[in-house]
Amino acid sequence: MLRGFATITYFADDLDAAKAWYAELLGVEPYFEVPGGYAEFRIGDHSQELGIVAGAWAPHEPRPGGSIAYWHVDDLDAAVARLTALGAKEYEPRKVRGEGFETASFADPFGNVLGVMFNRHYLDVLAGTAK
């Protein structure tokens, strides 16, 4: 039934500020936009979609909690440093989850939780060596 995520969306009351912040973090501009309401970035090895939605368009009051989507990073130290330098606040400190699996999560300046993870399995899948 579930084949992989299509789009992860984060909400922001200031869409322009969030779009600029994520463009700086990701090093790319959005590839698709709906003026005044939505900006979408394609990132990662499989061009996953990260959408930024105007807070006014939210179907409910956005709030952190419940679930965290973790994005694989090759260098967790560098990712933590970059997020911190751009003003993200630690949500959950670095934690070793098992051999080859380590996570951290941050609240972006717009109140969304962004997880980063060094994930050995992700690299094994890319290399075609996953069991």
Residue 69 is predicted with a pLDDT of 87
Residue 4 is predicted with a pLDDT of 67
pTM of the full predicted structure? 0.81
**E-strand stretches of 13-69:** 32-34, 38-43, 48-54
Residue 2 is predicted with a pLDDT of 52
Q: Which residue has the tokens 């965290």?
A: 68
In a structure prediction context, what are the per-residue pLDDT tens digits for the chain, which is 131 residues long?
555 677 898 989 999 999 999 999 999 999 999 998 999 999 999 889 999 989 888 776 655 545 688 899 999 999 999 999 999 999 999 999 989 999 999 999 998 999 999 999 898 988 988 77
Residue 131 is predicted with a pLDDT of 74
pLDDT digits (tens, 9 = 90+) for 45-78: 988 999 998 988 877 665 554 568 889 999 999 9
Rounded (to 5) percent helix, strand, coil in the chain: 25, 35, 35
Residue 57 is predicted with a pLDDT of 83
DSSP 8-state secondary structure symbol assigned to residue 20: H
Distance CA(73)–CA(119), nearest Å, equals 8
